[in-house]
Amino acid sequence: MALTAQDEGMMQRLGTSRPGLDTRGRILEAALLRFAQYSYEETKLRDIAADVGIDVALVHRTFGSKERLFTEVVTIAFQPRQLFAVDRGELSARLTARLLEPSLDQALRVVDPLDILVRNLLSPEAIPILRAAMARDVVEPLASKLDDPSPQRAALLAACLAGIGIFRHVLRTEPLLEEFDDHIGPLVARIIDLIIGDAPAADPRSATPSDRSHQQAASSPE
């Protein structure tokens, strides 16, 4: 499957931005872009090889299979080590910042990792790989950051963050694009704190006018 003109321009920038990148890194870059544009089934190793300008046999020799290549791409895109390499007290700020400005590793600053997730949600071959990667690279390290390690709470938080990210960065839902830093960002941080167990008891005095109006409506007799 051919890349669009915009994608080809991206590939050209990739090729010129890091001339010292080795063949393995160039294959990963090309695969990252392909898997973000097309489903697992639509992505062919020969197309990735053509993007890099090498023989497809070298892709097979370097990664062994498309499954192993996709697994590495998913891990690199979500960069779990960087995401969770903070103390418990900094976790909420780190995760909120990631939603505000999602970025890949410096060597792979090309696409939003959520694009890879969304493109492959209906892929019967990719789903087991994504499920295993989310458990290994997101849920398990996130659970280990909790005072009382809970895979259930970690999975719930990961699901919330993924949903917010998809609505904001993939669907570009308008209310989530406006004043995210000033208003929605703190709300997201509160959700994170609540799930990981750091949220303090609610203080009615800290409620926003909108919160108070909802509370009053709920308490008013019909």
Q: Scanning the structure block, which residue is given the tokens 């929605």?
A: 184
- Does residue 29 register a pLDDT over 60? yes
Determine phi and psi for 52, rounding to 5 degrees. Answer: -85, -25
pLDDT-based confidence at residue 185 (cuts at 50, 70, 90):
confident
Say what angle helices 23-37 and 56-63 make with each other, to 10 degrees. 100
Average pLDDT, whole number, for the chain? 79
List pLDDT tens digits, range 67-113.
999 999 998 888 777 778 888 888 888 888 887 765 444 444 457 78
Q: Is 97 exposed, middle or buried (0-12, 13-18, 19+ CB in 10 A)?
A: middle
- C-beta of residue 37 within 8 angstroms of C-beta of residue 119: yes
Structure confidence at residue 2 (pLDDT): 43
- Does residue 64 register a pLDDT over 70? yes
List pLDDT tens digits, range 209-221.
444 444 454 445 5
Structure confidence at residue 221 (pLDDT): 52
The superfamily (CATH) of domain 5-201 is Tetracycline Repressor, domain 2 (1.10.357.10)
Amino acid at 137: D
Quote the tokens at residue 98.
């990631």
List pLDDT tens digits, range 127-172.
999 999 999 989 998 998 887 778 999 999 999 999 998 988 888 8
How much of the chain, in percent, has pLDDT values that exceed 70?
A: 73
Q: Give every CB contact of residue 78 below 8 A, 6+ residues apart in sequence.
A: 113, 133, 137, 138
The secondary structure element, H or E, covering residue 15 is helix 5-17
Cα–Cα dist 137/139, whole Å = 6
Structure confidence at residue 124 (pLDDT): 96
Annotated domain spans of the chain: 5-201
DSSP assignment of 128-172: HHHHHHHIIIIIHHHHHTSSS--HHHHHHHHHHHHHHHIIIIIS-
